């Protein structure tokens, strides 16, 4: 009786607590946090999600995007940060040992009116999360991870802008329930979302909250984008139901709305190919099945998964009805750790004894991202910062050292870095010297000068590597601790202008050290018995050995002047505080050569009177030459003379001479000569790419696939520099294989840049279409609007040439139907037959066909007829580098832990 009363009392208490809790979080979904970066008020959106502004955030600035049609309020604002070497972190409170889904989104929207698409890094605590690459103005770039919170705060940081300024539009944190997305690896890896697809979707709109109570965003399979669910098998049909689905039978609780639709392979197979962003690598891949079609009594639906190159994966048979224990229930087989490629083809094929074709309701693939455990001094640094939580330097979140250090520390180079310097000069610090500083074992430098620190100097014996201590210009009291005099590596100690007292330890007065203690009125130097002793000895011996005595006293007076006078004890000017921000621009990219003016006779001599013609192009004839100092040069004699005078020519030339880049042919000088202006370039030993692809060299010594990728990378770099590194931007206008030259080491450089401006008469430039047939951008041809994207088009044609070995027009392998290599290659690319394109001279001389797919895809995008749909050169460069990484990586093995079932006896094929 008493027990049941207390139990019902307890229940009542719990119930009322729950009610209080729910009303307190009225508008907010429990476990959800949505931050509208750059926003300035709180609101609830049409989905019922409650957005909060980030007005408390101390860094960066808010901005509005300039897309008037964007109506989702959270995307209309953003916060952006300086493109410097700092990182900018949002600390988010979380509950430890709880799994979360974290989504960061980025909508550029030309917020800075510069149309420079930013590219920067995203990290989570000490771990690299992703590179954020903005490809266009109006697409929301979204990054998602699932992680297990290991501490009470998780920091999301942006840093390291390669172009533009880092920014962020939203941050969404969704607490997951129970064992959703549990893996055995969760303390070592995050799950980074690569694909989450709702098959048989009824519209292009994604399914999310409130249909998905965890607000996962399930992409519709009807969306059209490059290499997303292509190669669909014939006979693929959408099916859907309105019957309720029991989702509790799936570990990941996929939303009912997603499970109510599916695709079915009426003709026996379902097949798809899609790109998996972030891969190749190891990942978590699960499929979701539910029988939603009314089957006849004798119907069966059994099928197998077929993934090319993964024979072990292909064995288990899926029988949805059996495994889900009936209809309208979820069956969720998958792989906890499977090696997947970037371009991922997969197929479900019905077994011979099955009457129905395969079904697929949904699919989720994540890549494992290693968790970096962070720097070893993180807790000391966090404690230190928490003492000054009002100061903005103390609010820089994230790991102290990783991926890049906070602005006021420097770190060791170790894999798990430690703090090597603390730089907090003139930060208005008050109180005692924070004791956390004395607990940094690898500390080398301390800068705490110019603050208002009081109290005594602490014991630094916990920092044996200390070399430099700056404590000057504070209010420190007490004596100089003996631990400082026994500090083994101390080289510089600055204590001037404090209120220290007591005696200066003698061991600090060493001529190899810098020690400044002036301006401490109560500090006495010790009576120096050693000095007296030396004087006695000297005078005794001195009677007999005068010379020796003189030298000895000289030594003493020298020594005294230097070390024993309090007023003069500043023996070296202290170095200025170290720069807190390091410049990272790589100067080696830019040679410092300036244009030289050659005389006509000089060039005449160098070229032996223009004897050896090594090429001719749109702008003139090129001759080989060798200057007096044995430097090999190429002299271009311009033919297409315009009315421009000598002055304008040299103006243009001086402009040209300021463009220097490792991947642009070096411009050495010029020779103004009426009617025969000349330009002098470095000589490129291995000639043009054209010869190596379609000429004699191609037959004798065909380029390997990796070499082709490197040539593509080099030339993309050169063109990217013209587009983004020069002001005003330079559009090459004549990108083609004969303008890509190869040096001694077969590294490529782009030639003939900046010439169109030099040669063409300005006023007609916009109406005369320049360029070379086969490489000419059709959009430019029709609209006569010249942009960087015209170069991108031409470069795309070059990529096709590198892939196929075919010239742009009328290649032998193109047949009757196709004139242009682009149309022919695109046809084969779209039908999924990449091998039909590959240059036969490559034979099987490539390691990973994924890199070929990647280049083909890039070439297709570059040659889109609409210039706005084409990628930027920076993006193209990134793709090429990814392809190189694929080609250089060891071929991924087929390692998988199948969890289709624990009981192999269900799958006779396994035996
Ligand atoms: C953004 O727009 C709002 C209203 O349209 C305006 O009040 C605000 O000042 C703008 N913010 C910035 C940073 O321009
Ligand atoms: C996060 O946690 C800290 C410390 O518990 C607290 O002061 C702060 O208000 C919390 N922030 C939010 C947004 O809940
Ligand atoms: C989390 O789990 C509890 C109990 O298992 C359930 O009542 C609650 O609805 C779940 N929350 C979500 C968002 O699904
Ligand atoms: C699919 O099967 C149907 C009937 O079995 C047949 O008519 C159709 O041609 C098949 N489609 C393809 C592309 O094989
Ligand atoms: C499925 O339905 C969507 C929308 O109605 C449609 O776009 C898509 O082509 C259909 N897919 C198939 C395989 O029929
Ligand atoms: C997945 O398996 C591979 C190969 O066995 C292993 O190297 C890797 O660490 C595993 N992934 C995770 C996240 O544990
Ligand atoms: C130290 O504090 C005093 C007053 O408390 C103030 O006048 C002075 O500017 C402070 N010095 C520094 C370096 O902040
Ligand atoms: C220095 O810090 C104190 C609090 O410790 C604060 O009141 C004062 O405004 C600060 N002064 C400056 C110049 O930042």
Q: What is the pLDDT of residues 28-46, one digit of tens each?
A: 788 999 999 999 999 999 9
CB of 151 within 6 A of ligand 3: the answer is no
pLDDT at position 220, please? 97
Q: How far apart are CA 142 and CA 869, in angstroms?
A: 19
Are 870 and 775 within one domain?
yes
CB of 76 within 6 A of ligand 1: the answer is no
Nearest Cα to Cα of residue 310 among 283, 345, 278: 345
From 682, 715, 732, the end of a domain falls on: 682
> Between β-strands 281-288 and 678-682, what pairing exists: parallel, antiparallel or unpaired?
unpaired
Work out whether the CA dihedral 843, 844, 845, 849 comes out positive or negative: positive
Spacing, Cα 428 to ligand 8 middle (Å): 6
How much is the mean pLDDT over the chain? 83
Q: Is position 582 within any domain? A: no
Q: Tell me: pLDDT of 354 over 80.
A: yes
Ligand 6 atom with the shortest distance to the CA of 188: 13
Spacing, Cα 64 to ligand 1 middle (Å): 6
Smallest-distance ligand from the CA of 266: 4
Q: Is position 410 within any domain? A: no
Name which residue sits closest to atom 5 of ligand 4, judged by CA. 267
**Most confident listed range (3-17, 635-649, 878-892):** 878-892
Tell me the average pLDDT across 75-98. Answer: 93
Name which residue sits closest to atom 8 of ligand 6, judged by CA. 282
Q: Is position 558 within any domain? A: no
Is 304 among the annotated ligand-binding positions? no
CB of 64 within 6 A of ligand 5: the answer is no
Q: Residue 334 maps to which CATH number? A: 2.60.120
Pocket of ligand 6 (CB under 6 A): 185, 189, 282, 337, 368, 895
Lowest-confidence pick of 177-186, 201-210, 765-774 = 765-774
Q: Tell me: pLDDT of 554 over 80.
A: no
Spacing, Cα 600 to ligand 4 middle (Å): 76
Name which residue sits closest to atom 12 of ligand 8, judged by CA. 428
Are 102 and 131 within one domain?
yes
Quick: pLDDT tens for 799-827.
Answer: 999 999 999 988 888 888 888 999 999 88
Q: Residue 169 maps to which CATH number? A: 2.60.120.260
Ligand 4 atom with the shortest distance to the CA of 234: 13
Work out whether the CA dihedral 222, 224, 229, 235 comes out positive or negative: positive
Please enumerate in sequence order all residues whose Cβ is within 8 A of that of 19, keeping only pairs 6 or more positions apart, or say none.
none
Nearest Cα to Cα of residue 292 among 256, 340, 343: 256
Q: Tell me: pLDDT of 627 over 50.
A: yes
Q: How far apart are CA 398 and CA 392, in angstroms?
A: 14
Quick: pLDDT tens for 120-138.
Answer: 999 999 999 999 999 889 9
Are 37 and 173 within one domain?
yes
**Using CB atoms within 10 A of its CB, is residue 622 exposed (0-12), middle (13-18) or buried (19+)?**
buried
Residue 426 has which token pair? 């003139």
pLDDT band at 647 (very low <50, low <70, confident <90, very high): low
Q: How many domains does one find in the chain?
A: 5
Q: Are 341 and 847 in contact (CB under 8 A)?
A: no
pLDDT band at 910 (very low <50, low <70, confident <90, very high): very low
pLDDT at position 511, please? 75
Element (H, E) at 550: helix 546-563
Tell me the average pLDDT across 167-192. Answer: 94
Residue bearing tokens 């533009």 = 164
Are 324 and 209 within one domain?
yes
Residue 16: C-alpha distances to residues 12, 22, 31 (Å): 6, 10, 20
Spacing, Cα 426 to ligand 8 middle (Å): 11
Tell me the average pLDDT across 631-638. Answer: 87
In three-state secondary structure terms, 373 is: coil
Are 16 and 124 within one domain?
yes
CB of 93 within 6 A of ligand 4: the answer is no
Q: How far apart are CA 365 and CA 712, in angstroms?
A: 31
Q: Is position 153 within any domain? A: yes
The DSSP line for 709-769 is HHHHHHHHHHHHIIIIISSS----S---GGGEEE-TTS-EEE-STTHHHHHS-GGGTTTS-
Pocket of ligand 8 (CB under 6 A): 428, 430
More confident residue, 756 or 764: 756
Q: Is position 180 within any domain? A: yes
pLDDT band at 317 (very low <50, low <70, confident <90, very high): confident
Q: How far apart are CA 286 and CA 202, in angstroms?
A: 22
Q: How far apart are CA 426 and CA 257, in angstroms?
A: 59
Are 742 and 785 within one domain?
yes
Spacing, Cα 268 to ligand 4 middle (Å): 10
Residue 465: C-alpha distances to residues 269, 338, 440, 474, 583 (Å): 67, 45, 10, 24, 27
Ligand 7 atom with the shortest distance to the CA of 428: 14
pLDDT band at 558 (very low <50, low <70, confident <90, very high): very low
CB of 477 within 6 A of ligand 3: the answer is no
Name which residue sits closest to atom 4 of ligand 6, judged by CA. 895
Are 90 and 115 within one domain?
yes
Quick: pLDDT tens for 841-889.
Answer: 887 778 778 889 889 999 999 999 888 889 999 999 999 998 998 888 7
Mutate to test the pocket of ligand 3, among 18, 100, 177 (most ligand atoms within 8 A of CB): 177
Residue 148 has which token pair? 């297990």
Mutate to test the pocket of ligand 7, among 424, 425, 427, 428 (most ligand atoms within 8 A of CB): 428
pLDDT at position 548, please? 41
Quick: pLDDT tens for 426-469.
Answer: 999 999 999 999 999 999 999 999 999 999 999 999 999 999 99
Q: What percent of the chain has pLDDT over 70?
A: 82
* Burial call 43-60: b when 16+ CB within 10 Å, e when fewer: eeeeeebbbbbbeebebb
In three-state secondary structure terms, 202 is: coil
Spacing, Cα 646 to ligand 2 middle (Å): 69
Q: How far apart are CA 383 and CA 436, in angstroms?
A: 7
Q: How far apart are CA 391 and CA 39, in angstroms?
A: 23
From 667, 682, 697, the end of a domain falls on: 682
Are 40 and 177 within one domain?
yes
Q: How far apart are CA 62 and CA 64, in angstroms?
A: 7
Q: Is position 102 within any domain? A: yes
Q: How many CB atoms lie within 10 A of CB 430?
A: 13
Domain range for 766: 689-888
Tell me the average pLDDT across 333-337. Answer: 91
Q: How many CB atoms lie within 10 A of CB 34?
A: 22
CB of 271 within 6 A of ligand 5: the answer is no
Q: Tell me: pLDDT of 86 over 70.
A: yes
pLDDT at position 677, please? 81
Q: Is position 397 within any domain? A: no
Please enumerate in sequence order all residues whose Cβ is within 8 A of that of 228, keeping only pairs 6 or more positions apart, or say none.
274, 275
**Most confident listed range (197-201, 247-251, 383-387, 803-807):** 197-201
Name which residue sits closest to atom 9 of ligand 5, judged by CA. 222
Are 272 and 162 within one domain?
no
Mutate to test the pocket of ligand 6, among 334, 337, 896 (most ligand atoms within 8 A of CB): 337
Residue 416 has which token pair? 């798990």
CB of 177 within 6 A of ligand 3: the answer is yes
The Cα angle at residue 133 between residues 128 and 139, in degrees rounded to 5: 125
Are 713 and 824 within one domain?
yes
Q: Residue 455 maps to which CATH number? A: 3.80.10.10
Q: Tell me: pLDDT of 765 over 60.
A: no
Strand (E) positions, 208-280? 219-220, 236-240, 261-265, 269-275
Residue 363 has which token pair? 């699919």
Ligand 1 atom with the shortest distance to the CA of 63: 13
Nearest Cα to Cα of residue 171 among 308, 295, 78, 276: 78
Lowest-confidence pick of 402-416, 477-491, 617-631, 765-779 = 765-779
Element (H, E) at 445: strand 445-447
Q: Tell me: pLDDT of 530 over 60.
A: no
Spacing, Cα 235 to ligand 4 middle (Å): 6
Name which residue sits closest to atom 1 of ligand 8, judged by CA. 428
Q: Tell me: pLDDT of 10 over 90.
A: no
In three-state secondary structure terms, 288 is: strand
Q: What number of CA atoms fall less than 13 Å from residue 505's CA on the CB side?
A: 12
Q: Is position 701 within any domain? A: yes
Smallest-distance ligand from the CA of 397: 2
pLDDT at position 579, please? 35
Nearest Cα to Cα of residue 780 among 731, 818, 819, 737: 731
CB of 180 within 6 A of ligand 3: the answer is no
Q: How far apart are CA 180 and CA 823, in angstroms?
A: 47
What DSSP designation does 353 have?
T
Q: Are 731 and 752 in contact (CB under 8 A)?
A: no
Residue 318 has which token pair? 């899926």
Catalytic residue among 734, 779, 791, 839: 734
Q: Residue 696 maps to which CATH number? A: 1.10.510.10
Lowest-confidence pick of 214-223, 700-709, 900-909 = 900-909
Smallest-distance ligand from the CA of 366: 6
Name which residue sits closest to atom 3 of ligand 8, judged by CA. 428
Spacing, Cα 635 to ligand 1 middle (Å): 56
Are 181 and 255 within one domain?
no
Spacing, Cα 430 to ligand 2 middle (Å): 25
Spacing, Cα 234 to ligand 4 middle (Å): 7
pLDDT at position 586, please? 29
Q: Are 516 and 496 in contact (CB under 8 A)?
A: yes
From 188, 220, 238, the end of a domain falls on: 188
Mutate to test the pocket of ligand 4, among 233, 267, 271, 357 (most ligand atoms within 8 A of CB): 267
Smallest-distance ligand from the CA of 473: 7
Q: Are 894 and 313 in contact (CB under 8 A)?
A: yes
Are 839 and 714 within one domain?
yes
- Catalytic annotation on 221? no
Smallest-distance ligand from the CA of 391: 8
Tell me the average pLDDT across 755-759. Answer: 58
Smallest-distance ligand from the CA of 64: 1
Quick: pLDDT tens for 770-805.
Answer: 678 888 888 887 777 788 899 999 999 999 999 999
Q: Tell me: pLDDT of 894 over 90.
A: no
Q: Are 284 and 336 in contact (CB under 8 A)?
A: yes
């Amino acid at each position: 009786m008493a027990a049941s009363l207390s139990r019902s009392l307890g229940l009542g208490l719990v119930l009322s607590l729950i009610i209080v809790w729910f009303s307190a979080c009225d508008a907010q979904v429990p476990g959800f946090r949505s931050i509208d970066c750059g926003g300035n008020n709180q609101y609830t959106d049409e989905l019922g999600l409650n957005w909060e502004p980030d007005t408390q955030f101390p860094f960066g600035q808010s901005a509005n995007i300039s897309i008037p049609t964007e109506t989702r309020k959270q995307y209309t604002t953003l916060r952006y940060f300086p493109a410097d070497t700092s990182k900018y972190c949002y600390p988010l409170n979380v509950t430890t040992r709880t799994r979360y889904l974290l989504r960061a989104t980025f909508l550029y929207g030309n917020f800075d009116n510069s149309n420079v698409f930013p590219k920067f890094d995203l990290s989570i605590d000490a771990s690299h999360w992703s590179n954020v690459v903005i490809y266009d103005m109006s697409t929301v770039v979204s990054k998602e991870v699932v992680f297990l919170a290991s501490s009470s705060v998780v920091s999301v940081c942006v840093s390291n802008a390669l172009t533009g300024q880092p920014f962020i539009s939203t941050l969404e944190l969704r607490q997951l329930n129970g064992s959703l997305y549990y893996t055995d690896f969760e303390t070592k890896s995050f799950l980074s979302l690569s694909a989450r697809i709702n098959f048989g979707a009824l519209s292009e709109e994604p399914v999310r909250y409130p249909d998905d109570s965890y607000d996962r965003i399930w992409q519709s399979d009807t969306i059209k984008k490059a290499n997303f669910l292509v190669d669909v098998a014939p006979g693929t049909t959408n099916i859907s139901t309105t019957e309720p689905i029991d989702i509790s039978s799936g570990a990941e609780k996929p939303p009912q709305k997603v499970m109510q639709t599916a695709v079915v392979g009426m003709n026996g197979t379902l097949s798809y190919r899609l790109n998996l962003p972030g891969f190749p690598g190891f990942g978590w891949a699960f499929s979701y099945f539910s029988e939603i079609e009314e089957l006849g009594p004798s119907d069966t639906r059994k099928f197998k998964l077929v993934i090319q190159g993964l024979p072990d994966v292909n064995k288990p048979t899926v029988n949805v009805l059996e495994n889900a224990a009936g209809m309208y229930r979820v069956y969720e087989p998958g792989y906890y750790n499977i090696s997947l490629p970037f371009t991922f083809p997969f197929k479900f094929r019905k077994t011979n004894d099955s009457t129905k074709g395969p079904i697929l309701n949904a699919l989720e693939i994540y890549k494992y991202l290693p968790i970096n455990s962070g720097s070893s001094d993180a807790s000391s640094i966090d404690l230190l910062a928490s003492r000054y939580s009002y100061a903005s330097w103390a609010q820089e979140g994230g790991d102290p050292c990783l991926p890049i250090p906070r602005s006021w520390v420097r770190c060791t180079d170790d894999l798990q870095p430690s703090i090597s310097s603390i730089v907090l000069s003139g930060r208005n610090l008050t109180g005692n010297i924070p004791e956390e500083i004395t607990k940094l074992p690898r500390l080398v430098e301390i800068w705490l000068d110019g603050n208002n620190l009081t109290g005594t100097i602490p014991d630094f014996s916990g920092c044996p590597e200390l070399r430099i201590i700056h404590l000057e210009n504070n209010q420190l009291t007490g004596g100089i601790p003996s631990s400082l005099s026994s500090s083994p590596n101390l080289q510089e100690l600055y204590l001037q202008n404090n209120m220290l007292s007591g005696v200066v330890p003698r061991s600090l007065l060493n001529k190899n050290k810098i020690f400044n203690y002036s301006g401490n009125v109560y500090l006495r130097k010790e009576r120096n018995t050693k000095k007296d002793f030396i004087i006695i000895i000297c005078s005794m011996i001195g009677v007999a050995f005068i010379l020796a005595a003189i030298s000895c006293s000289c030594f003493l007076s020298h020594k005294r002047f230097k070390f024993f006078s309090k007023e003069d004890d500043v023996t070296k000017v202290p170095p200025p505080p170290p720069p807190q921000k390091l410049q990272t621009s790589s100067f080696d990219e830019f040679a410092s050569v300036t244009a030289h003016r050659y005389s006509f006779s000089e060039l005449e001599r160098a070229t032996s009177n223009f004897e050896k013609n090594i090429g001719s192009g749109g702008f003139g004839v090129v001759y080989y030459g060798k200057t007096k100092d044995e430097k090999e040069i190429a002299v271009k004699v311009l033919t297409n003379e315009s009315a421009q005078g000598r002055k304008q020519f040299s103006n243009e030339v001086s402009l040209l001479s300021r463009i220097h880049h490792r991947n642009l042919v070096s411009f050495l000088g010029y020779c103004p000569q009426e009617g025969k202006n000349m330009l002098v370039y470095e000589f490129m030993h291995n000639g043009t790419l054209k010869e190596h692809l379609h000429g004699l060299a191609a037959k004798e010594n065909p380029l390997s696939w990796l070499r082709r990728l490197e040539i593509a990378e080099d030339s993309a770099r050169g063109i990217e520099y013209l587009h983004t590194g020069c002001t005003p931007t330079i559009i090459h206008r004549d990108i083609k294989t004969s303008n890509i030259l190869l040096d001694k080491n077969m590294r490529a450089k782009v030639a003939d840049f900046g010439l169109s401006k030099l040669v063409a008469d300005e006023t007609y430039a916009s109406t005369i279409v320049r360029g070379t047939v086969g490489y000419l951008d059709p959009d430019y041809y029709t609209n006569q609007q010249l942009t960087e994207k015209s170069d991108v088009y031409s470069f795309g044609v070059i990529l096709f040439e590198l892939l196929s070995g075919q010239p742009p027009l009328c290649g032998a392998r193109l047949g009757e139907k196709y004139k242009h290599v682009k149309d022919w290659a695109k046809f084969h690319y779209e039908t999924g037959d990449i091998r039909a394109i590959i240059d036969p001279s490559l034979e099987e001389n490539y390691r990973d066909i994924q890199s070929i797919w990647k280049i083909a895809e890039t070439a297709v995008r570059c040659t889109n007829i609409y210039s706005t749909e084409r990628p930027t050169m920076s993006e193209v460069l990134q793709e090429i580098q990814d392809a190189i990484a694929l080609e250089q990586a060891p071929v991924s093995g087929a390692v998988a832990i199948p969890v289709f079932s624990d009981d192999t006896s269900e799958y006779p094929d396994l035996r």
